[in-house]
Structure formats: structure tokens, C-alpha cells
Structure 1
Amino acid sequence: MSPDSMWSIGELAEHAGVSVKTVRFYSDRGLLPEAARSTGGHRRYGPEALDRLRVIRSLRTLDLPVPDVGRILDQEDALEDVIAGRLREIGSQLAALRWRDAALQLLRDCAPEDRAERLRLIGAVSVPPSTAALARFWRRWLPPRLPSRLVASILEEAIPQPPAEPTPSQVLAFAELHTLVSDGCGSDDPCQPAAHRTEEGYRPAVLYDGLREAYALASPRMRGQRPPHEGEALDCFVSAYARARGARDTPDFRRRLSTVLAADPRIDRYWQLTAELSDPSEPTAGAAHDWLCAALDTQAVRSFSA
């Protein structure tokens, strides 16, 4: 086809059902290359430009940015990557909207005298909410020099993910949790448990490996609503502390351990808030620890009485 027999910019716009301004916009950004120029220097387009323009309009209808549209047109395998990225963005936007909706309901339904405090709590949390502050808290709370794979496992189990569709009460729980960890203990703070102080002879890596196993053994019993009792879970729990100290598991060791654990600082509020954000049928590590401590206390009292 000669340049003069091709479509002008106006003719292409008419065939596509768009404005001349739209065709010029995509042409100027390199998405719609002209096939030639007329003798008068005007842009000319072949029939393939109509198909390309229709593809461009379809992609833009999906709200894809112009640079991404250009990638798709120029690279055969770009469409899948662009779609995946866009879905991630939309997912983040939807999560933010759900969070804001629940937060607004929380403020709407609370007593007027509570609104200022709740607004302060909510305002401290990013939207959509991030668990970065919780991760920082646990890295400060945990004893130093734990193996990285152990730290990763503990963080995965201890840090609740914000619910995909939060209720107003869950928004409040997460906001309170965020504030709690932001004001939490540092690694050199005296609020650290005795077992975190390696100068007292503890081997924290040995301890935490054993505790994770003990919590896993206790969880089925807790789901079955069984009261704290002696057995495999308690034996594993005590063994973790004994091996961490290089000590033997004896009745005397158990009595002393019961006293030490009773005096240790607790982060019960953390676990209470975590439970509000998690599957209610699945005990938290904090709840499992309390269950095992209660079982140990009961056994210690019985042993002392005997």
C-alpha cells in the first residue's frame, strides 16, 4: 500500500471508534507506530494498526499502565508477568479497603469517650497493616545467636498475619498488638526470661528446639480441652530446660524449674491479642507454654506434698 492509500489518523480513529486525540496519544508514546507518512508529512496507518489499537484499548480497560501495555505489545511472554503483578497490587488495595472498612466500623460503633484512643491506635498502623514491628519485637526478645532456621520457625509461629477480612474487634486487637510490641522489651532489657541469659549457663538454641516440640505435643490435648496434666508433653517441656542447662530431669529440678518460670517476665498480653487474630481452634505458643507451666506447677505441688 502506498502512504496515500493508507488510513489517516482521523480514519483510523473512526474505524476504532475512538478520538483522534486517543490515537495521537498512543502514537506519541510508541504504542502505535505509524506505517508511513503521506507526501504532506501526515501520519498514515495500515489495517494492522486497527488490531493493535483494539488490543491497547482492551488492556487499558483493565487499568494497566501505559508502560506495561508497551511491554505486552513488545514481548510475547510479558502478559503473564504483568497480570501477576497487577493482581498483587489489586490484592493489596482490597486488603487496605477491607481494613479501612473495619476500622471505620470500629470508630463508628465505639463509645464517644473511646474514639480518641482508638483513633490513636489505628493511626499508628500502616494500611494495609504490616507485621514488621512484630518481627522486630521477636528479634529483640529472642536470645542472641540462635540459628537462623530456628529464628525463622519461631517468627512464623509467633507472628499472626492480619486477617484477610478483619472484623472491627480484630482491627483493634492488631492495633493494640502493634502498640504493645513497639513499646516492648529490648534484648538487653531486664524483662528478658532467665533462660535467655547465656551467662547463667543456658543454651537457648537447645531450649527453643525442645520447646517447639513440647508445644506441638501439648496442642492436641488443649484442642481436646484436657486440663494440664503430666505426660509426654510435660516431659518434653522439662527435658528442654534440663538439656539447655546440662542438667538431669529430677523431681528436685522440676520443683526449681516451676519456681523459676513463675518468676520469669511474661508476655501474656501479646498472646491474648494474637489469639484474637488467629484460628481460635489452634492454641498459640503462649497458651501452650501456660498449659505446660500449669501442669508443672501441679506436679511440683504434689511432689512437695509427698
Structure 2
Amino acid sequence: MTARAYTIGQVSRLSGVPVRRLRFYADKGLLPRIDRTDAGYRLFDEEDLVRVGLIVALRDAGLGLEAIREVLGRRRSIRDVLSLRLAEIETQIASQSRVASAIRTALRSSEPTSDDLRRIWTMTNLSNAERVEAIRSFLDEVADGADVDPSWKGWMLRMSAPNLPEDPSPDQLDAWIELSALLKTPDFKDRMRRNAQDSVIGLDVELFQQVQASILPKAKSAIESGLEPGSPEGRAVAKEYLEGWARATRREPTPETMAQLRRKLIDHKPAMYRYWSLVATLNGLPGRSTPTPEWLWIDRAAAMVLAEA
């Protein structure tokens, strides 16, 4: 039985694909099995009709011509290319959702401001992966040529990698804008480098938690009693904290160790508080964005003791 042949017009009517588009697919090699009549007209067979249907379905899914060519040539499976396309679409949806959130925020005011527009620019131009890369690049610059614990950079990246949700709040957008500006500030970079040089990564978490369990109630009681950090009670709590910190970092409370901690508490702490506050806001952890009154009181008491050491 002779296979039925279809003219390009018949294929167009059967498939719903315009003749011009069919010629385009044929010219691009997506319909290679094409015969011609003596008069030079294109002829298609049943297999070509199936291929046209597959091409249309894959194009509707958003696949490019090269991906479709690989499927038709059996170099890639339909499952593989559809999985890849799904990942692309989901990424685009997440990106567009963040942009929509920024625009929605801008439209809350009767007249959007330049700050609102900066939020839109931020969401439009950066993905979470690019934000993580911005943090990574900053940490690379901080550690470059500095005497820094080798594990510091990895720990910092794990703890501070931004992960904005698909529908971030205005506070989260503002936090990224401020943080990205902070990363470009030479003074902050220098402070971060000095903090990194004074950092001790090998903290005994369990032991330090025991120290916290002991000193936080004392600090809370002192605050409720109206006692200042520089009071005898404040100094006692501060000394317990400093000695506990030294034990938890497996160090002796030598003058050198205390000088290192003094730098962290007095020189580095304000900048680091702001950094971690922004990271906490970005990642939806508002409870961690600011230190508790107890810790502020302990830090002030410890800074006074260390300043006199």
C-alpha cells in the first residue's frame, strides 16, 4: 500500500500550522523527510504529520529550535528537555514574583519614590544565586592576603547567604539594598577583615550554651533591678562571660586572648551587629536581627572590664 502524501497546504489545514511556519521548520531541518512533486511542490507523509504535532507541542512548551532538533534526532529524550524547560520556567516565575512584589510595594504609595524604583531594579537584576555570589566575592576580598582561619570564609557564607522568598517584604528588599551597599564600603571591608583575623571558629557550642544559661538570667535580674553594666554585679557577670568564652574557644584567658576579645567587642561589634541584623531580616529571621537587652548589657559590661585590662 502506497503511503499517503500530503501537500503543504493539506498539512497546514490538518495541523493548524501556517504554511509559512511549516516552510520555516523545513528550512531549519526540523522536517527533513520531504519529497517534492515533479512541479517542485513539497510533499509530506504521515510521519511528517506526527513530527509537526511534536514540534508544535514542544514550541508551546517554550523549547527552542535546537532543543527540538535534539529531540527529533533522538539525541535527547523528551523528558530531559521538558525537565530542563520546567526548571527554566520555575526560575522565571520566581524572578517575576519578586519583581511583582517590588512593584506592589511601590504602588502602595500615591507617588512611588526613587527608593521604590531601586527596589524594583534590585529584584529585576539579581537572583538569589547572584546575591550569594556577591557575598562570596566580598568574603574573598576580605580574606585575600589576611591571616584568617581557613574555615572562616566557609562558615560566614553558610551563615549569611541571602535567601529571599518569592514574595519578599519591603523590609527584606531594603535590607538587601543596604547590605549590598555595605559590602562595597572600604571601611566596612577593613572592619570585617580585622574581625575575621580575631575570629575563632572552633567554638565548643555546648559549653558556650552553658555559659549563656548561667549569665543571661543574672543580666536580666540586674537590668530589672536597675543596675548598670559598670556596677560590681555587671563586672562579675562580665568576668564570668569572658572566662567562659575563653574556655569555649579552648583558650587560656591570657592578656593576648583578652585583647582579641576586646577588639571584637569594642572595635568590631557595632559593624557586625548591623551586618547580622541585615542578614537576619533578609532571611526572615527578625528575632535575630537585633541583640537582646541582656546581651547588650553583657557586652557593655565586658567592654568596660576589657578596657581596663
TM-score normalised to structure 1 length? 0.71
Judged with a 3 Å threshold, the aligned counterparts in structure 2 of structure 1 residues 110 and 62 are, in CA distance, closer, same or farther, namely same
Match of 1:182 among 178, 181, 184: 184
CA distance in 2, matches of 1:162, 1:60: 32
CA distance in 1, matches of 2:79, 2:32: 24
1:260 equivalent to 2:273? Answer no
1:274 counterpart SS class: helix
1:249 equivalent to 2:253? Answer yes
1:75 counterpart SS class: coil
- Given that 1:36 and 1:44 are in contact with CA atoms closer than 8 Å, whether structure 2 keeps it comes out as yes
Spell out, residue by residue over 1:122-178, the C-alpha distance to the aligned partner (whole angstroms, 9 max, x if none): 546652443133322233334736566552232121222222221222222222221
Shift of 1:14: 2.5
Name the residue aligned to 1:9: 8
Name the residue aligned to 1:134: 135
Of 91-100 and 24-33, more deviation after overlay is shown by 91-100
CA distance in 2, matches of 1:89, 1:236: 50
Shift of 1:15: 2.6
Spell out, residue by residue over 1:35-54, the C-alpha distance to the aligned partner (whole angstroms, 9 max, x if none): 42222232222111111111
Map 1:7-156 onto structure 2 (within 5 A).
7-75=6-74, 77-110=76-109, 115-120=113-118, 123=121, 127-129=125-127, 130-131=130-131, 132-142=133-143, 144=146, 146=148, 150-156=152-158
Name the residue aligned to 2:230: none
- Given that 2:182 and 2:188 are in contact with CA atoms closer than 8 Å, whether structure 1 keeps it comes out as no
- Given that 2:149 and 2:201 are in contact with CA atoms closer than 8 Å, whether structure 1 keeps it comes out as no
Map 1:283-302 onto structure 2 (within 5 A).
283=288, 295=298
Map 1:199-210 onto structure 2 (within 5 A).
207-210=199-202
- Given that 1:35 and 1:44 are in contact with CA atoms closer than 8 Å, whether structure 2 keeps it comes out as yes
CA distance in 2, matches of 1:166, 1:39: 64
Judged with a 3 Å threshold, the aligned counterparts in structure 2 of structure 1 residues 111 and 260 are, in CA distance, closer, same or farther, namely farther
Shift of 1:193: 6.2
CA distance in 2, matches of 1:140, 1:235: 33
CA distance in 2, matches of 1:262, 1:147: 19
Judged with a 3 Å threshold, the aligned counterparts in structure 2 of structure 1 residues 282 and 139 are, in CA distance, closer, same or farther, namely farther
Judged with a 3 Å threshold, the aligned counterparts in structure 2 of structure 1 residues 13 and 257 are, in CA distance, closer, same or farther, namely closer
Shift of 1:27: 1.1
CA distance in 2, matches of 1:216, 1:9: 79
Q: Which amino acid aligns with 2:47?
A: E
CA distance in 2, matches of 1:216, 1:277: 30
Judged with a 3 Å threshold, the aligned counterparts in structure 2 of structure 1 residues 12 and 261 are, in CA distance, closer, same or farther, namely closer
- Given that 1:7 and 1:45 are in contact with CA atoms closer than 8 Å, whether structure 2 keeps it comes out as yes
Judged with a 3 Å threshold, the aligned counterparts in structure 2 of structure 1 residues 259 and 145 are, in CA distance, closer, same or farther, namely closer
Aligned residues: percent identity? Answer: 23
Q: Which amino acid aligns with 2:113?
A: R
CA distance in 2, matches of 1:140, 1:215: 32
Of 118-127 and 175-184, more deviation after overlay is shown by 118-127
- Given that 1:95 and 1:164 are in contact with CA atoms closer than 8 Å, whether structure 2 keeps it comes out as yes
Q: Which amino acid aligns with 1:88?
A: A
Q: RMSD between aligned alpha carbons?
A: 4.3
Q: Which amino acid aligns with 2:170?
A: P
Judged with a 3 Å threshold, the aligned counterparts in structure 2 of structure 1 residues 287 and 11 are, in CA distance, closer, same or farther, namely same
- Given that 1:9 and 1:43 are in contact with CA atoms closer than 8 Å, whether structure 2 keeps it comes out as yes
Of 137-146 and 269-278, more deviation after overlay is shown by 137-146
Q: Which amino acid aligns with 1:58?
A: A
Judged with a 3 Å threshold, the aligned counterparts in structure 2 of structure 1 residues 83 and 146 are, in CA distance, closer, same or farther, namely farther
Matched length: 282
- Given that 1:34 and 1:43 are in contact with CA atoms closer than 8 Å, whether structure 2 keeps it comes out as no
CA distance in 1, matches of 2:14, 2:109: 58
Judged with a 3 Å threshold, the aligned counterparts in structure 2 of structure 1 residues 208 and 77 are, in CA distance, closer, same or farther, namely farther
Where do 5+ consecutive residues of structure 1 fail to align?
A: 198-203
Where do 5+ consecutive residues of structure 2 fail to align?
A: 221-236
- Given that 2:8 and 2:43 are in contact with CA atoms closer than 8 Å, whether structure 1 keeps it comes out as yes
Name the residue aligned to 2:231: none
CA distance in 1, matches of 2:184, 2:18: 55
CA distance in 2, matches of 1:302, 1:264: 15
Shift of 1:22: 2.5
CA distance in 2, matches of 1:31, 1:52: 8
Shift of 1:59: 1.0
Judged with a 3 Å threshold, the aligned counterparts in structure 2 of structure 1 residues 176 and 303 are, in CA distance, closer, same or farther, namely closer
